[in-house]
Structure 1
Amino acid sequence: MTYDPSLRVLTVLELLQAREEVTGAELSRRLEVSPRTVQRYIMKLQDLGIPVEGRRGVGGAYRLKPGFRLPPLMFTGEEALSLALGLRALKQLGLHTLTPAAEAASAKLKRTLPHSLREEVQALEKAVQLDDSPWVVSTNAATLAALLRAVREAQTVDITYTSNKGAGTRRRVNVYRVMHVDGRWYAVGWCQLRQELRSFRLDRIRDLAVLDETFTPPQDFDALAHVRAHPCSQPLHDISVWLACPPEQLHGFLSVWNTDIRAEEGGTRIRCQREQLDFFAAFLLSVPCEFRVDSPPELLGAFQRLGERCHALLHTD
């Protein structure tokens, strides 16, 4: 690996920021220079006012003085671009309320960049367009932030939760994880009212309060696995259909959430659970290939209802 002199010094600073302590031997190996040259780089940082402390002798090491506040961050081109695009993509996660904060953070990021790198990032940003998906549900950033603090401190939350039928109930929940999947944010944890693990959509949470009450969360809890096995809305119909096209051609048509998709007999087998068969029937009609319904029989009734609606529409005077 080739380093110019200034990049070597910045690399030393980056390693010292990332680690509590770094040995001289490791710095020498990472930079592919002699231990004496490493000492010169350390002296250069010290000359710049950065308090690097060293331990002499065999196994000597370096560290930044505890409590030292580092100068403004320095980014590579790829790091700066990833941050800029990440800030723009917050809307894709339903966090529209963070737009002003994201714009302010983006402006601060640009001010920290050298002129040439700032122009490059701005040009790349202009070349990229991100469309808001209609399936992404807007979420209150303050609710998300409060839940994340509750997870970190293992504190119980008190919420009003609105069901899919519109009824609101007061709940106390030990939140283990917060997750984003299929366009929605979820809090997953122990519901004290129901006395079982439950998942709660953040867009249905109201009047959230973080309590002083604490709990011991389970180790290595997998929220994604739980929500896949226990979706928020209880499914009523087991669906199995075969489509006359390979799985890769269905990309973009079908949500993979709570859905099993497998290649079968030159086509694709879809198994899933849904409450609204009419919606799923309409989806199947939108897929550009032939299909066969194996179950449930009620799905055929959904197609009949859609057909009647289409017939009425086409024969309206």
Structure 2
Amino acid sequence: MSDKRVTDRRGAAPRSTRITPETATQRLGRLLDLVPWVLRHEGVSVEETAREFGISPAQVESDLELLFLCGTPGYTHAELIDAQWDDGHIYLANADDIAAPMRLTRDEAVTLTAGLQALSSILVNSEVAERTLAKLRAATTAGDPGGGRIALDLDDGSQHAVMAQLKQALADHRRVHLTYYVATRDETTERDVDLMRIVNLDGQWYVEGWCHRANAVRFFRVDRVAAATVLDQDGTPPPEARPRELDDEVFVPSDSDLTVVIEARPDAAWIADYYPNEGIERAPGASVRVTLKVADPALVRRLILRLGGEARVVSPPELIEAVADEARAALAHYGAGGTAR
């Protein structure tokens, strides 16, 4: 998408109209925070709101336009949220039902506490996690004395040795040798890695580092590391190694990734919200065309085969043919009578 520059309807200075692709879940979370924040800052400018939420002014206006369609059952003018920003300042009305900022329920507080305890147990430098955990415990015990402590046993024995080696390598700045299972190719590989960090995303532990096999920064799922050995070599990553900006996603597209366009019928249109993408085109009949950036085309081949006839690759041509070849190979495993061999 090009970064166009336009003058808005109020004659203000030109500004970016770029809207960063995101999932419906990510946008919903922001909207639930946006409404109470704007209500507490009545008359705040579109630009200041954009800075507060880390988005473009165009995305702020798109969010406000969506709020026009939100409200309580009945969905007449009296129930829908009223948003005004014609003079460049935002005013909301009829939004009392979501005026309060989201607060943690007891179950959410317990889950967050458990997660922070897990994080503290695994990080080499855990001061920030410990301070956050202390604040959460203080807030929890204020209404429920004794409720801020959770007995948590995270070690089932399966990954303890691997994680211990990874932590040691990271703390001592040593290179580590990994025996790593690559699920997309169903093969086990050997590689030397200079570690950069250990992170937990969506309930999975990952290690990020400079992989000398790929000569690039790579993410490795810890539960797919069969063995880790700390080497007697300096493990400082090269100057060109840069940690990726993760936000909420493990996958971050790069310039070297393959651009793929998938056409999905209504029953498979969920992929537009489920997978981070570069753009969505709505087609007649509730079908969608989704543009994705992928590092490994095998992921797309498997997705298309799993969806059957509900989705197809539109481009690039070489991936279209690869999917067709894989489908023919799968059919070859079936006999003339349709019985699997």
TM over 0.5, yes or no?
no
Relative to the length of structure 2, the TM-score reads 0.40
Relative to the length of structure 1, the TM-score reads 0.42
Pair member with larger Rg: 1
